[in-house]
A and B are shown apart, each in its own frame.
Chain A
């Protein structure tokens, strides 16, 4: 079974502070991990995926297979980073490639 855990419902940081949004997963095969972001009243948007190893808007995430984690990090939070962040997993087996989402973490960046 696929499972994604995001332990924090809400994370509040000050502008300029480092951010780490935690994500742990459970999957028996080779997973693909994603971070999606949802800004207020907007659609879910892909922020980054572990396969591409890109840094988007200053965010990075490293897949740690030993700890089964895919934490999202940013060294200096900006006000515009305030949003809902979802970690998601897709199995690389089967044709459907459904996404399994965590419960999400609301990031609030305060001035």
Chain B
């Protein structure tokens, strides 16, 4: 069964550095998402992406964040200048069509020191 994959599984970075988190959604899916979960807190929506543009973003998704689908398979989340409070588990998700189930990747655990 096809799955969403994410790399790396863990990333440690220094405050102020740029990080890029990578996701490979399921191949015939059209809608892509990033969520994050700070330790001990709920899973929070960051951004949704469809037809090569952002369709919705949360207040968390400020100018430090960007998303891109650089080719036909990858979907990336970039944090330009990481802050301590960006430390979290970041989940990518994808779904095939409107109203369909979102499938989640295993997550990338980001630690900002």
Q: Does A95 contact B (CB under 8 A)?
A: yes
Interface range for A? 20 to 34
Residue ID in chain A nearest B95 by CB atoms: A97
Chain A contact surface mostly: loop
Which residue of the partner chain, among A92, A95, A103, contacts B55 with CB atoms under 8 Å?
A95
Chain B contact surface mostly: strand
A86 cross-chain contacts in B, Cβ below 8 A: 42-43
Cβ B42 vs Cβ A101 within 8 A: yes
Query: How many residues on chain B are close to A (CB under 8 Å)?
Result: 27
Interface string of B2-17 (1 = CB under 8 A from A): 0110000000000000
Cβ B104 vs Cβ A97 within 8 A: no
Cβ A99 vs Cβ B41 within 8 A: no
Residue ID in chain A nearest B33 by CB atoms: A98
Interface string of B80-113 (1 = CB under 8 A from A): 0000000000010101001101111111000000
Identify 12 new A-B residue pairs, CB closer than 8 A, beyond the known A49-B101, A97-B31, A100-B45.
A43-B4, A43-B106, A44-B43, A45-B104, A94-B56, A95-B48, A95-B50, A95-B98, A96-B48, A97-B48, A98-B58, A99-B45
